Structure 1
Amino acid sequence: MTLIIDSTDETNELTEQQMLEIERIISFAAQKQKVENSEVSITFVTNEKIHEINREYRDKDAPTDVISFALEELGEGETELIATDMPRILGDIIISVPKAKEQAEEYGHSFIRELGFLAVHGFLHLLGYDHMTEAEEKVMFTLQKDILDEYGLKR
């Protein structure tokens, strides 16, 4: 077992083919990053839902395109649990379908390319990549572009 992906479309706007394509992209990214025996969830939501999540968990009162919640980040006073026969639970990726549609049009590429970009972006956050500094941004954005290009979702 390499990567278990639990994906849910709360908007009922995505086709089964689009959902499978996103799962394939994330599996490809996991292979490139040598992620094994792991689990991730991807939830596709409305702007209203991601706005609510952004406000509640990030104190940002606006909708956004993607939010990731890494489960491997330990909070103060938390202890790491290690089980050898259990998959490593990476966390949750939440993607706004309306934002993805809007951004695909704005950037002049396909909806599936934008969904793929957002999914890979969120996945890399779960693996510990970030873009808080210029150096981190360069590493993360180059990596996500390389993954998408190699997969075949070029801009």
Structure 2
Amino acid sequence: MTLRIYFENMQEVEPITYGLKMLIRRSILATLAFEDKQGHSEVSVTFTDNEGIRAINREYREIDSPTDVLSFPLFEEVEDTRMLGDIVLSLEKCRTQAEEFGHSFERECAFLTVHSTLHLLGYDHVNSEEEEKDMRERQTAIVNGMGLAIKEK
């Protein structure tokens, strides 16, 4: 399995480190492996802040508020490459949610990347409680498998 990620930074809130990029890569690869997706995949990841994701959320979903992550699936294959789509991640929201939930920034970024990658693969959680439960269980299994489980207090 190979993965090409196109990173774009549209924010100045958090530094974009090599470690952060590798965490995002690891999260996407873990999701693809969990879902048994073989072959070559490509995805675009855009880092933004709350104002940036709010503008995108307003434009594409007609919701005028910031969110943590947005997913834009392509469901497109070119020759032997699966074009997964675009992930837009508010690092500002990642930071505040990590603090709110009492875990690390890295764990929150990984969780949201896994969540978004599942959307790119066709999963959803808005149509039924059953779909939401299934997606939540997958996310938890993948993040735990990465060694980023929430530690019990």
TM-score (norm 1): 0.88
For the residue of structure 1 that corresponds to 2:67, the secondary structure is: coil
Aligned to 2:145: 150
Map 1:29-48 onto structure 2 (within 5 A): 29-35=31-37, 36-48=39-51
2:1 matched to 1:7?
A: no
After TM superposition, the structure 1 stretch with the greater mean CA deviation from structure 2, 21-30 or 132-141, is 21-30
C-alpha displacement at 1:50, in angstroms?
0.4
Aligned pairs for 1:1-150 within 5 A: 1-12=1-12, 13-35=15-37, 36-72=39-75, 83=78, 85-132=79-126, 133-150=128-145
Q: Secondary structure at the match of 2:88?
A: strand
- Residue 71 of structure 1 aligns to a residue whose secondary structure is strand
Amino acid at match of 1:15: T
Q: Is the 8 A contact 1:3 1:30 kept in 2?
A: no
- 5+ long unaligned stretches in structure 1: 73-80
TM, length-normalised to structure 2: 0.89
Identity, % of aligned positions: 47
> What amino acid sits opposite 1:106 in the alignment?
E
- For 2:41 and 2:72, the matched residues in 1 are separated by 15
Task: Determine which structure has the larger strand proportion and give its number.
Answer: 2
Report the more deviating stretch, 40-49 or 99-108: 40-49
CA RMSD between the two structures: 1.4
Q: Deviations over 1:82-130 (max 9, x none)?
A: 64x3411010010001100000000000000000011000000010111
Native 8 Å contact 2:77 2:83 kept in 1: no
How many residues end up aligned between the 2 structures? 146
The equivalent residue for 1:78 is: none
Deviation >4 Å, runs of 4+: none
